[in-house]
Amino acid sequence: MSNSEERIRALPLWNGPLTISPLKGGISNESWLVEDGNGRHVVRFGKDYPFHHVFREREVMVARAAHEAGFAPELRYAAPGVMVSEFLGAKTYGADDVRANAARIARLVRRFHEEMPKHVSGPGFMFWAFHVIRDYARTLAAGGSRMAPELPRYLDLADRLEKAQAPLPVIFSHNDLLPANFLDDGSRLWLIDFEYAGFSTAMFDLAGTASNAGMTPEESDELLTVYFGGKPDQAIRRSHAAMQCASLLREAMWSMVSEIHLSAPGSDYVTYTAENLDKLEAALETYQNQYGKL
């Protein structure tokens, strides 16, 4: 029996015999499917990651608020280093699913942005992609990252992408809208994983949804049109294209930081860094073809 299975069996919430099996997915946390007399549950192990601005006490609060607001499965138990949530048995989205359901996702994300401020509690916290990029650069420089020679170029790019942003209202955003964080139970969509949630503007969630799923400009336009309730103007389109680049730069730098500080089973952060840098170059080319040089 593995150490993780022993930790699971020791949790004080089970009813009767347990069936335990690992869940694939996730590149920074370890998750397990557990069935007992009360049904099926997801057990996730993860500690604070200050280098990623991840603090589990905050994540637990957001997960509970998101369930209360109707966006997330129930959080059934939480203790330092572990969270136990309801298992929905829903389909986990891939990139093709996100692209095919752009309108549904836009409506879900809009409701999340509008409703969550009524449910989150405690001190306010923010997520601004460009601050994260700058702080990642400090972490990478201090940690002797193999990518340190590239940091001045990344920071200059981030400054130019930030200047391309259109002003938008402050909302409460998810900030990690990878395809696998959307679940579809056949009648409705759900959101999971709130490690990075915080106050921001809508654009990072909209751009992250598009860039992580490889949306075409036409699919991105549908996402924006449904979210904003009308065709986006040129400033919003430009802001969105620039933020897609920023989201890919942040994801690549997240992976660079993870190369130094994380070791998750089955995760190849060097390859993930390269994949996101390739996507970033493609997104920059698309931006420059549409809007000119940054």
Position 263 scores a pLDDT of 82
Contact 202, 227 (CB under 8 A): yes
For 243, the 3-state DSSP assignment is helix
Class of domain 3-86: alpha beta
Q: What are phi and psi of 238, to 5 degrees?
A: -65, -45
Domain 91-291 = CATH 3.90.1200.10 = yes
Position 26 scores a pLDDT of 67
Query: Do 3-86 and 91-291 show the same overall fold?
Result: no
Torsional class of 285: left (φ above 0), alpha (ψ -120 to 50), beta (otherwise): alpha
Q: What is each CA distance from 262 to 27, 30, 162, 179, 255, in whole angstroms?
A: 9, 12, 28, 22, 9
CA distance 269 to 28: 10
CA distance 11 to 13: 6
Going residue by residue through the chain (294 aa), what tens digit of pLDDT does each one get? 579 999 999 999 999 999 999 988 667 788 999 999 999 999 999 999 999 999 999 999 999 999 999 999 999 999 999 999 999 999 999 999 999 999 999 999 999 999 999 999 999 899 999 999 999 999 999 999 999 999 999 999 999 999 999 999 999 999 999 999 999 999 999 999 999 999 999 999 999 999 999 999 899 999 999 999 999 999 999 999 999 999 999 999 999 999 999 987 778 999 999 999 999 999 999 999 999 988
Every domain of the chain and the residues it spans: 3-86, 91-291
Question: What is the CB neighbour count within 10 angstroms for residue 49?
Answer: 17
